[in-house]
Amino acid sequence: MNRSDMRQRLLFLLLAFFVAGSSFGQQTTQPTVLPPDKIYGVLFRDVQMDKVFADGKTFADCIPKRKPAEIVADYEAAKSHPGFELKKFVEDNFEIPGSASEHSNYKTNTSEDVVTHIKNLWPVLKRNPDKSVEGSSLLPLPYPYIVPGGRFREVYYWDSYFTMLGLKESGEIEMIDDMVRNFAYLINTYGHIPNGNRSYYLGRSQPPFFSVMVELLAEVKGDSIFQEFLPAMEKEYQFWMEGADKIKPGQAYRRIVKLKDGAILNRYWDDVPTPRPESWREDVLTAEKSGRNKIEMYAHLRAAAESGIDFSSRWFADQQNLRTIHTTDFLPVDLNALMYHLEVSIAKAKLMNKEDSVAGQYRKAAGKRGERIDKYFWNKSRNFYTDYNFRTHKQSNHISPAGMYPFCFVNEHPDYMSFLGKKVAAVIRQKLLDPGGVATTEFDTGEQWDAPNGWAPLEWMTIWGLDRCGQKELAADIAARWVRLVEKVYKETGKLMEKYNVADINKPAGGGEYAGQDGFGWTNGVTLRLIRQYNLPKE
C-alpha cells in the first residue's frame, strides 16, 4: 500500500469511528445509518467471535425486540455474571431471522417442469415495501422486490439483473419496473446502490448493472425509460468516478486509478476499513493468519465483495490462498466494460433530451474506455481479456468469464471483436468448458468462485458474449449444458441452487463462507431466459 492509499485508509478509519459509517465519505445530506457493529459494539463482536450462529450474517440481520441502547446496557451489566449465556441473551432480546422458505407455505412439486416451478417461485421470493425498524440493518425500500433466497433475505444489486431476465420471460414487467425504481431510490438516498439493502453494505456497491437493467426495461416500455432514469444513471456514474478530475497520473483514489499515460479506469473498492459485519469472524481470522496489515486486508476482502466474486483465485497473488488477496491492486475488465455501458447509456439519454454536446462528451468517454479496454485488458499471450495490475503494470494471466464482458458491451469495432471471438472460444473450450457449463476459473482452491463451480451470472455473460461475437454454436452448447444441469439437480432435489458443480454434475457445489443456498433468484432468471432463447426442452 503506497503512502497515498495509506492516508486514505486512515481517513476512512477516522470516519468509521466518528461518523460510525453514516454516509461513508458521501455527501453529508445523506441519512445517518449505523451498521450493526456500530449499534451493538462489544455485544456484536462477542456474538460474532464466539460464533453464536454458524452463519455470521444471522446476527447482522437480527431485529431487536426493544431499544438497542437498552439491550447494550443490559449486556454490559450482565455479561460478567456467573452463568451468563450469550446465546440465550441474544435469543431473549432479538428476533432471529430464518430462511426465505419460512415466508411461504409453498411446497416443491417436482412433477412440474422447471419453467412452471420457477414461475411459481416468484411470489415466494417477493418482498413487499419495507417498514423502518429501529436497530435493524435492513434499509427500507419503497417498492416490491425479489430476493435471491435462503440467507439472502434482501435485494442484491448485480443479482437482480439476472433475476430480471427471468421476470421478463415470465411477463413480470411491473416487478422489473419496481426493482429499477428501488435502485434509483437507493442511488438518490445514499449516493449509490449498495451491495444489498442492508446498513452493513453501505460502504460498497456491486458490479454496476443499473444501466443494463434500464436497457432491459426499455426493451419492453420504450426508450423513454432511458430519459426517466437518466438522473440516477448520472449520479451512479459520479459515484464510480469520484475524484477523476483531481488525481494525478500514477495515483489511485477510491474506485478510480489514473495510469501514468493519463488513462482513467475503475477498480473495486469499499469505503470502510473494518471486517465485514456479515463475515466478521472470518475476516478477523483471515487478517490474523495473513500476517499482513489488517486494514489493508480488510480493504482487499471488502473490494472483492464489491466485485461479487468473493472469493476467487482471480484476486490472489499466488492464485491459491485467500491470505494473498490484493483486489484493490487490479483494474478489473468486467467493471470497466460495465462502465463503458453506463457511459453509452447516459449518452443515449442525453441525445434523446437534445443535449447533444453533453451526449458527445459521454460518447467520447466511452470510446476512450473502449480503446483502453483493448490496450490494458487484451492479453495477447493468453488470447483473452484479463485484469490489469496497476501496481506491477502487468496483466493478470488469470482466465475467467469476466473476460467475456467486453464482448457483451463494447461497440467500437465489431469486426475486431469477431476476430477476437474465435480466439476466446478456443480458450474457453480448453480452459473452462465442463459437462455442466463453464467453470468460474481454472483453479480449484476451495473458494466458491473457483473451479469446479459454475454460476448463473457468469454462464449468462459468457453465452451472451460468445453469441455477440459470432461464436453462436459454442454459446448454444454452453446454454444446453447449463440448463440440463439445473434441471437434473431440480429433479433430484426439488431445488434451484445458488451455484453448481459443473465439472462433476453428480456432486454439489461447495466452498465459501456459508452452506449452499437454494431459491435462487439469478439461477431462476438465467435458466428461464436460456430455455426460451435456445428453445431448450423443459424437463
Q: Are strands 453-455 and 499-501 parallel, antiparallel or unpaired?
A: antiparallel
Closest listed residue to residue 328, CA positions, set 295, 291, 283: 295
Question: Whole-angstrom Cα distance, residue 228 to residue 239?
Answer: 19
Is residue 310 flagged as an active site residue? yes
Q: Are 489 and 117 in contact (CB under 8 A)?
A: no
C-alpha cell at 308: 461479487
Q: Which of 310, 343, 387, 467 is catalytic?
A: 310
b vs e for 275-303, b when ≥16 Cβ sit within 10 Å of the residue's Cβ? Answer: bbbbbbbbbbebbeebebebbbbbbbbbb
320-326: long-range contacts at Cβ-Cβ below 8 A with a sequence spacing of 24 or more? 320/443, 320/445, 321/445, 322/286, 322/447, 323/286, 323/289, 323/290, 323/291, 323/292, 324/290, 325/297, 325/300, 325/301, 326/300, 326/391
Q: Cα 452 to the chain's mean position, in Å?
A: 20
| Residue 85 neighbours by CB distance under 10 Å | 11
Q: Which of 283, 467, 498, 518 is catalytic?
A: 498
C-alpha cell at 188: 438518490
Q: Are 387 and 395 in contact (CB under 8 A)?
A: yes
Question: Whole-angstrom Cα distance, residue 153 to residue 150?
Answer: 7
C-alpha cell at 417: 471483436
Q: Helix H segments across 291-400?
A: 294-307, 333-352, 356-377
Exposed, middle or buried, 246 (CB in 10 Å: 0-12/13-18/19+)?
A: exposed
Place of cell 431476465: 165
Cis bond before residue 129 (omega within 30° of 0): no
Q: Cα 23 to the chain's mean position, in Å?
A: 20
Question: Whole-angstrom Cα distance, residue 225 to residue 236?
Answer: 16
Place of cell 460474532: 48
Half-sphere exposure of 34 (CA within 13 A, CB side): 17
| Residue 241 neighbours by CB distance under 10 Å | 18
Q: Are 124 and 166 in contact (CB under 8 A)?
A: no
Is residue 296 flagged as an active site residue? no
Which of the residues are catalytic? 310, 498
